[in-house]
Chain A
């Protein structure tokens, strides 16, 4: 079974703190993603990575950065946490798409509920 794990289920931080959210997958997937989920807004893509040391901005990258030093690990960094970053953060991974119709589903972790006070 594919397993995507996230370092914490719940996290409470103070405004201005630097926050690291860690995600690890054990299926040798090339692609990894970070989303945030807020009521009424659904899931929104923050960043994704399709290879080690590679990253691309998603729809809402402002206030976040990422790091992918190893294939299995993708970190989301909040350089200076703010209250509007209180949210559920979801990590996902997938195999890289092959040209054509082969679809590689995204596998999600359980999420980290971050509260910034």
Chain B
């Protein structure tokens, strides 16, 4: 599975868009990009995943570059409840994910 690199922490003002970057320069053609987040004292929660095309659901949008070497998770209107650690994972075997250390997003009022 491809290794991912994320900034250790980011801040975002409440109501603004939070853009969380992820680098996966060694990703192979059949590997997906998955995003999970972990709110304090809870288990991780699935957000979104994609292969090549941009994806959107009720929680977030995922923008994958054309060369697939990086992606951005977008929370369009961040709230205080979005404060969490966000994990970007790249892999083919959807049964087995390898979590890194993620990005700690702090949303402030």
Query: A residues engaging B (CB < 8 A)?
Result: 4, 31, 33, 35, 40-45, 48, 50, 58-59, 90, 92, 94, 96-97, 101, 103-111
B7 CB, min distance to chain A CBs, angstroms: 14
Given A42-B101, A48-B95: A109 and B32 within 8 A (CB)?
A: no
Using known A-B contacts A108-B43, A109-B43, A110-B42, determine if residue A97 contacts B94 with beta carbons closer than 8 Å: yes
Contact B95 A92, beta carbon cutoff 8 Å: no
Flag if A41 contacts B101 (CB, 8 Å): yes
B 28-49 to A, binary, CB cutoff 8 A, 1 in contact else 0: 0000101010000111111001
Contacts of B51 in A (CB 8 A): 101
Residue positions of B touching A, CB distance < 8 A: 32, 34, 36, 41-46, 49, 51, 87, 93-102
Q: Are A106 and B46 in contact (CB under 8 A)?
A: yes
The answer for the CA separation of A106 and B45 in the assembled complex, in Å, is 8
Q: Please tell me if the beta carbons of B87 and A103 are within 8 angstroms of each other in the complex.
A: no
Minimum CB–CB distance from B20 to chain A (whole Å) comes to 15
Measured CB to CB, the closest approach of chain B to A1, in angstroms, equals 12
Residue of A nearest to B100 (CB): A42
The CA of A10 and the CA of B77, in the complex, are separated in Å by 35
**A45: which B residues are within 8 A, CB to CB?**
96-98
